[in-house]
Structure 1
């Protein structure tokens, strides 16, 4: 069993607005520097990006009305990391949730660094969406 961290942030925008922006892989470079440091390009059924840790292939959940944005990230090594991600209503805005799972090859230090990167990305998402209301 992997260690898990649930990372959440409140965003003062509707769940629909948050979902529409965050579920679009082309927007990843605008808020998810921990995953996509440059343009994200479609390659068949996957999206390809240059991450801080190398080239990755990203497969997102199909568009849905439940706010589910789960995605699999395939590393150059062939390892696939599943990333559960959701947006749900919270009062007049949204709660954005990312579930970070410690991978078997990760040291405690790497897991903490990964958590910090996700937290930074979620703050960037919040700032971007709230600034463009």
Structure 2
């Protein structure tokens, strides 16, 4: 059986060099500054994962291996057997960049809830823009 998940890609333009945006976003210690539902995050000592506290649960989170392509995919495991992937890219655009985030509607997730998740993701990208443009 083939499974196809609905998805939505959102983006923001940031007037900050792509490599700076990538480095800030790659550093999971910065998550509480721009990810609205992240209350805290702590690196696991024995793996490349981090544990993120949210209002809903504690979730294991991994970010894609550091790369030069701007790939920042995040995989989170909020419960055993449940894995959520958010595909994220930082793409150079002149002296700034575009940040794209694709979210997937999980099986059984109502459309209204998915719309709320997408809206929260857009707010997170806007937070990222505000923080990074404010540093320059």
* TM tier relative to shorter chain: over 0.9
2:119: which partner in 1? 116
CA distance in 1 between counterparts of 2:79 and 2:104 reads 19
Task: Work out the CA distance in 2 between the residues paired with 1:47 and 1:18.
Answer: 20
Scaled by the length of structure 1, what TM-score is found? Answer: 0.94
Distance in structure 2 (CA, Å) of the matches to 1:58 and 1:105: 22
* Alignment RMSD: 1.0
Corresponding residue number in structure 1 for 2:6: 3
Q: What does 1:28-47 align with in structure 2 at a 5 Å threshold?
A: 28-34=31-37, 36-38=38-40, 40-43=41-44, 44-45=46-47, 46-47=49-50
Structure 2 regions of 5+ residues with no counterpart?
A: none
SS state at 1:63 partner: coil
| CA deviation vs aligned residue, 1:29-75 (integer Å, no higher than 9, x gap) | 000123x122x111122100112321100011111111111110001
Equivalent residues in 2 for 1:1-133, closer than 5 Å? 1-34=4-37, 36-38=38-40, 40-43=41-44, 44-45=46-47, 46-133=49-136
- C-alpha distance in structure 1 between counterparts of 2:87 and 2:107, whole Å: 17
Q: Any idea what SS the aligned residue of 2:109 has?
A: coil
Query: Secondary structure of 2:69's match?
Result: coil
Shift of 1:77: 4.3
Instruction: State the secondary structure of the residue aligned to 1:84.
Output: strand
Task: Point out where structure 1 has 5 or more consecutive residues left out of the alignment.
Answer: none
Q: Which runs of 4+ in 1 moved over 4 A?
A: none
* Alpha-carbon distance between aligned partners in 1 of 2:14 and 2:27, rounded to the nearest angstrom: 17
